Chain A
């Protein structure tokens, strides 16, 4: 379970998270929508401790992410994150990209790590690309590799930060299909996205962020069909 309690975060004078309270249960798929600068991506990077927070608490399975005593490297094994930019390691083959963390962080043998990696790469439909360098692949393939790389750590949670925003429209579908597949398998996911159709389809709940505040959260049918706040009504009208 991920528990976010009254989290505040500023970059200099700009307060990007103004007291967020949110709980994501095991197996839940939560999507987060909102305009740029609404704080939704920042929240994800705070959840796995890449960004410090100013006040409040974030607990992952009861462990406080920003406590001094928390071993972040250990905690991050539980929380996979995939970013907007693909962030492939360009000097490593696809297989090496995916086996690096299991070998170095989990201490798996090369053979074991490769077995896990091959399984995850098959899962995302890249089993024919094992020896290829990322630079030779399309954006969609690189992004699916990034997903396999995160999954190879066998995380309990997956965070997706606008993973289709940097892709050609033609390639968005294949990545969304991968996310749909994960959702149907019961993975606990928080997806920050601009894909409204996707959000409506896969989410258990959808949260709408506006200027650092979680303005609304509800099951997709309710949130999309009966938006309560004028901000969300305007946002949905603009993105429809």
Chain B
């Protein structure tokens, strides 16, 4: 059915692109989640007044299109700060902040979903604020926040396609390079989509698995 000029070497080239997508996503999601938890707890704990500057910065990262953020950050680092950063570093940095900005809200929502009465009961047993956070709030908030967080991680994975503007050859860019050479756009996009699916599917299933595992409560 397919009369294609695609070679095994081209498939390896695509797989490398997929590897780059996975790497950028993994770094951004891991670091962004850690930062997001810190920001989210800080915002919940300190209240809106003192966290207004942080909230503003996070809102900026949430509301400006990622493409623009990448181009501007890259230009700012190179032309204003004169830092010799690789496109990969800029891409990871911007995607991390983008993830953190969304994650902070997910975390804050998760913490707010833990009933105050439950936390009071924990404190009344002599648990400190930190022990309450670690043993009660975090496990319960995680259950609430998990579906949104999975959605965020999958979204970041797909949005990472935009890092080609800072010269990072990830999966979609690799596909476009092959399209230019082979002139088989539909077939190549189909393969590209299949790669994205292969990367996303385990994460989506992990979410389902954890939800089932935690369904006793």
Contacts from A to B (Cβ < 8 Å): 48, 50, 73-74, 76-77, 79-81, 83, 85, 87, 89-91, 100-101, 104-105, 133-136, 146, 149-150, 153
Contacts and interface: CB of A to CB of B under 8 A. Distances in A.
B216 A150 contact: no
A150 B125 contact: yes
B214 A91 contact: yes
Contact of A105 (B117, B126, B143): B126
Per CB-CB distance, the 6 closest pairs between chain A and chain B, nearest first, are A87-B121, A90-B217, A101-B125, A105-B126, A76-B126, A133-B216
A76 B136 CA distance: 18
Contacts of A76: 123-126
B121 A83 contact: yes
Given A83-B117, A90-B217, A136-B216, A153 B143 contact: no
Interface stretch (B25-33, B127-135, B177-185, B190-198): B127-135
Nearest to B139: A91
A162 to B, nearest CB: 13
Nearest to A102: B125
Contacts, number: 66
A73 B120 CA distance: 12
Given A50-B123, A149-B125, 11 more contacts: A76-B126, A87-B120, A89-B121, A91-B143, A101-B122, A101-B126, A104-B131, A105-B131, A134-B217, A135-B216, A150-B124
Interface residues of B, number: 21
B117 A85 contact: yes
A152 to B, nearest CB: 9
A73 B216 CA distance: 31
B118 A87 contact: yes
B140 interface: yes
Interface of B: 115, 117-118, 120-128, 131, 135-136, 139-140, 143, 214, 216-217
Given A104-B131, A136-B216, A73 B126 contact: yes
B126 A77 contact: yes
Given A134-B217, A153-B126, A104 B135 contact: yes
B134 to A, nearest CB: 9
A9 B187 CA distance: 73
6 contacts: A85-B115, A87-B118, A100-B125, A105-B125, A135-B216, A135-B217
Contacts of A77: 126
Contacts of B121: 83, 87, 89, 146
Contacts of B123: 50, 76
Contacts of B217: 90-91, 133-135
A82 B177 CA distance: 66
B216 A87 contact: no
Nearest to A106: B126
Residue among A74, A77, A100, A150 with max Cβ neighbours from chain B (10 Å):
A100
A83 B139 CA distance: 22
Nearest to B140: A91
A153 B125 contact: yes
Nearest to A105: B126
A207 B15 CA distance: 76
Contacts of B115: 85, 87
Contacts of B126: 73-74, 76-77, 101, 105, 153
Contacts of B122: 89, 101
